């Protein structure tokens, strides 16, 4: 079966590739694939979706790995904002922990 460029399965593949590039230290390539993943999720699932929030969080981690904490914090805040509207406060601990790491660096 062919899903096409704008299918959620394609977004998932981009997400996996992005994580591999980040693990390899190729952060700019990781961002390239996370941005593709994010564009598909925003178009198919909407901006205020938990999976979209997860991609913002992953992008924030890449920015931390690139030593760009201010950009990371922006991504974490966006993710947190989405999650507050979708899953509630109890499920946002991961983002709060990431934000705490950023504040240590800033």
Q: Decide if 73 contacts 102 (C-beta within 8 A).
A: yes
Percent helix, strand and coil across the chain, each to the nearest 5 = 80, 0, 20
Tens-place pLDDT, residues 62-95: 999 999 999 999 999 999 888 887 666 556 666 6
Tens-place pLDDT, residues 4-48: 888 889 999 999 999 999 999 999 999 999 999 999 999 999 999
Cα torsion at 61, 103, 100, 38 (round to 10°)? Answer: -30
């Amino acid at each position: 079966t062919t899903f096409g460029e704008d299918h959620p399965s394609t977004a998932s593949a981009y997400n996996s590739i992005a994580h591999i590039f980040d693990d390899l230290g190729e952060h700019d390539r990781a961002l390239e694939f996370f941005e593709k993943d994010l564009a598909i999720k925003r178009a198919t699932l909407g901006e205020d979706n938990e999976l979209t929030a997860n991609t913002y969080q992953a992008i924030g981690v890449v920015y931390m790995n690139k030593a760009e904490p201010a950009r990371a914090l922006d991504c974490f805040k966006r993710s947190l904002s989405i999650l507050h509207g979708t899953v509630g406060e109890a499920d946002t601990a991961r983002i709060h922990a990431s934000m705490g790491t950023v504040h240590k660096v800033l």
